[in-house]
Amino acid sequence: MKIDVLVAEIGSTTTVVNAFGNLEGENPKFIGQGQAPTTVDQGDVNLGLMDATYDLEEKLGIRELEYDEFLATSSAAGGLKMTVHGLVYDMTAKAAKEAALGAGANIHMVTSGKLRRTDLKEIEKIKPNIILLAGGVDYGERDTALYNAELLAKLNLDVPVIYAGNIQNCEEIKLIFEDYGKEDLLKIVENVYPKIDQLNVEPVRRVIQDVFEEHIIHAPGMERVRDIVSGPIVPTPGAVMEGSKILKEVIGDLVTIDVGGATTDIHSVTDGSEEITRILISPEPIAKRTVEGDLGVYVNMKNIVEIIGEKNLAKELTLEEEELTEHLLNFPPIPKSEVEMKLVEILTEKAVIMSIHRHAGGYRHLFGETKKTLAEGKDLTSVKWIIGTGGALTKLPNRLEILKKVAMSNKGDKLLPTPEVKILIDNDYIMASLGVLSKYNKESAVKLLKKSLRIEEVETL
């Protein structure tokens, strides 16, 4: 059996290995998938990777996999930790944050204005993998970014710093980092907010992913994974975003919902409607990601249980509260029993609805001499497709019903998808893998995505 590419997805809960073949032919194939619990807690993610590989070999009925390329994505052990520092929160700080999230980062801190001593202490405590510095439109305010660059260069951290601010500061910031012997850690990119109401997030996203690959060993044993793979290790959320973006080119505006063990990620790729754009307070990126770090169905299960309430949850599961407590204490990473599946469905539905409401924008009504309606945040009203991916939304029996409730949950104040939206499921659970694969063979990645979503014929836009 000829395997062209293996792609490993090392998640916070589960490690998956996907095999693909015939990528240069007219009919690329998804050959199979192995799965195992991620082994961060055991001090070496390689153990889970090997178990997932053995699982794939067993399913394919072969002793040892032979392949041409091995690629990987990872969100294990917190994934890509970043801090973001801009000038004005609603402008450059927000733009920088959007760029970082879209690249697959987990944002641990956002500041605006000049950094304070308490900010610097917090940065040292966080120990980010990458620091993103922005500030000032091109040919606008300069001093704040220069002041912050000096403080960041002084920090006793061996951390890459990406500068994406006022173009006039580039040479000065180079000199600052040279003075501290850290010129090799500095990456200068196009301004993330070059003009008022203009976002420029894509160049920053690309560099963040490059820096991630160059500098990051972000989970126990990941350095050994780096020795195995022949291509880059990409942040899993960034790979899902990449898959969403290439799919939007083919089928139109969409939102991808990825419910995981630790987080729930929403990726929307839409221009929004002309009607909403006219009343939008501030610009939003076409491709936007939000990550809800408190909403996961395994690592962060207790947060959703607290929101629902154990009494309500036990009633819905027709269990005694003591029985529910026992299930919660001994819950496995991959649910198997009927009760476990039903519990995850309830938690997943809550995570989906809360996350999409946090991601979507809404209406604001201003009252003066006349009532004026404005819009703020991401507009999802033009979204044609909702795509479910991740372990929960690709495996649960009632996954379609869960996603149909997104449009039904709108009380009229949110910019959510309309009831006409259609649901697609990443049935083969390969969207993140194909996001990585698209960098090597975009045409085959799109074909495999359409197969996984069970789209036979969709009009190309």
In 3D space, the residue among 192, 191, 198, 120 whose CA is nearest the CA of residue 159 turns out to be: 120
DSSP structural state of residue 416: P
How confident is the model over 52-75, as a mean pLDDT?
A: 91
Q: What is the CATH number of the domain that holds 334?
A: 3.30.420
- Domain annotation covers residue 133: yes
pTM for the predicted model, two decimal places? 0.83
53 falls in which pLDDT band (50, 70, 90)?
A: very high
User: 91 and 58: one domain?
Assistant: no
User: 274 and 409: one domain?
Assistant: yes
Total domains in the chain come to 3
Using one digit for the tens of pLDDT, what is the confidence trace for 108-158? 999 999 999 999 999 999 999 899 999 999 999 999 999 999 999 999 999
What is the rounded (10 degree) CA torsion for 7, 76, 83, 127? -130
User: 366 and 317: one domain?
Assistant: yes
User: 60 and 132: one domain?
Assistant: no
CB 75 within 8 A of CB 260: yes
Q: Which domain holds residue 59?
A: 3-77+218-228
User: 102 and 136: one domain?
Assistant: yes
Using one digit for the tens of pLDDT, what is the confidence trace for 401-428? 999 999 999 988 999 999 999 999 999 9
User: Where does a domain end: 215, 245, 261?
Assistant: 215
- Domain annotation covers residue 442: no
Q: Determine the residue type at 157.
A: L
User: 28 and 100: one domain?
Assistant: no
Residues 460 and 262: their CA atoms lie apart, in Å, by 35
Give every CB contact of residue 121 below 8 A, 6+ residues apart in sequence. none
User: Which tokens belong to 56?
Assistant: 């794939």
User: 29 and 103: one domain?
Assistant: no
Using one digit for the tens of pLDDT, what is the confidence trace for 345-358? 999 999 999 999 99
**Could you give phi then psi for residue 282, rounded to 5 degrees?**
-145, 155
Residues 196 and 404: their CA atoms lie apart, in Å, by 37
User: 191 and 302: one domain?
Assistant: no
Let me know if 10 is exposed, middle or buried by CB neighbors in 10 A (0-12, 13-18, 19+).
buried
Q: What is the CATH number of the domain that holds 38?
A: 3.30.420.40
In 3D space, the residue among 446, 420, 451 whose CA is nearest the CA of residue 434 turns out to be: 446
Burial 253-279 (b: 16+ CB within 10 A, else e): bbbbbbbbbbbbbbbbbbebbeebeee
Using one digit for the tens of pLDDT, what is the confidence trace for 263-284? 899 999 999 999 999 999 888 9
User: 156 and 50: one domain?
Assistant: no
Residues 324 and 339: their CA atoms lie apart, in Å, by 10
- Domain annotation covers residue 138: yes
Residues 126 and 346: their CA atoms lie apart, in Å, by 33
Q: What is the predicted pLDDT for the residue at 219?
A: 56
User: 29 and 126: one domain?
Assistant: no
User: Where does a domain end: 196, 228, 260?
Assistant: 228
In 3D space, the residue among 292, 311, 297, 302 whose CA is nearest the CA of residue 346 turns out to be: 297
